[in-house]
């Protein structure tokens, strides 16, 4: 619960600069921390942040920068692997990827109906 609550209280700000400040919504005057890439590839260009997002637990921040790189910043100091580390482990182990059993066949009719409505420019209220 505290991790979910902390996620709701954090705000990441994408600006015209590379550093991404993370604020607590309750105290927006000073950032809790600032995510800065250590990569030198973008320093020659004017670097700006185009997208920031948190994972569902608020422990990682994904940052896309205008010059191309995407960074995953770990916001909490713990030993859990990041999303990218989990993906890398799955790829390297050649294990069968677990499937949660959900599928989209249940929505096939709704998708077809939506396609027909959009193509005929009929938008129900």
> What digits encode the pLDDT tens for the residues 59-83?
888 888 876 778 888 887 766 666 6
Would you place residue 2 in the very low, low, confident or very high pLDDT band (cuts 50, 70, 90)? very low
The answer to whether the pTM exceeds 0.75 is no
Calculate ∠ Cα 123-105-95, nearest 5°: 130
Model pLDDT, residue 104: 57
Q: Could you tell me if 62 and 70 are in contact, meaning their C-beta atoms sit under 8 angstroms apart?
A: yes
> What digits encode the pLDDT tens for the residues 12-49?
888 777 788 888 888 888 988 888 877 655 555 567 88
User: CA-to-CA distance for 20 and 23, rounded, in angstroms?
Assistant: 10
Which residue in the block uniquely carries the two structure tokens 């619960």?
A: 1
Strand partners, 71: 63
Model pLDDT, residue 100: 62
Model pLDDT, residue 3: 39
Across the range 74-99, mean pLDDT stands at 71
User: CA-to-CA distance for 106 and 75, rounded, in angstroms?
Assistant: 37
Strand 10-12: give its sheet, edge to edge: 10-12, 20-24, 33-35
Please indicate whether residue 114 or residue 97 has the higher confidence score (pLDDT). Answer: 114
Would you place residue 5 in the very low, low, confident or very high pLDDT band (cuts 50, 70, 90)? very low
- Written as one string, the DSSP assignment of 59-91 is SEEEEEETTS-EEEEE-S-SSPPPHHHHHHHHH
Would you place residue 88 in the very low, low, confident or very high pLDDT band (cuts 50, 70, 90)? confident
Calculate ∠ Cα 65-84-46, nearest 5°: 10
């Amino acid at each position: 619960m505290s991790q979910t609550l902390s996620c709701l209280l954090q705000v990441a700000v994408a600006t015209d600069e590379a550093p991404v400040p993370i604020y607590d919504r309750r105290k927006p005057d000073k950032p809790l921390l600032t995510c800065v890439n250590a990569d030198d590839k973008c320093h020659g260009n004017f670097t700006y942040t185009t997208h920031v997002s948190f994972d569902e637990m608020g422990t990682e921040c994904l940052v896309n920068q205008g010059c191309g790189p995407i960074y995953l910043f770990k916001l909490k100091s713990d030993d859990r692997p990041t999303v990218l580390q989990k993906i890398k482990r799955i790829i390297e182990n050649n294990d069968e990827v677990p499937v949660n059993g959900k599928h989209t066949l249940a929505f096939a009719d709704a998708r077809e109906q939506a396609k027909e409505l959009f193509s005929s420019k009929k938008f129900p209220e």
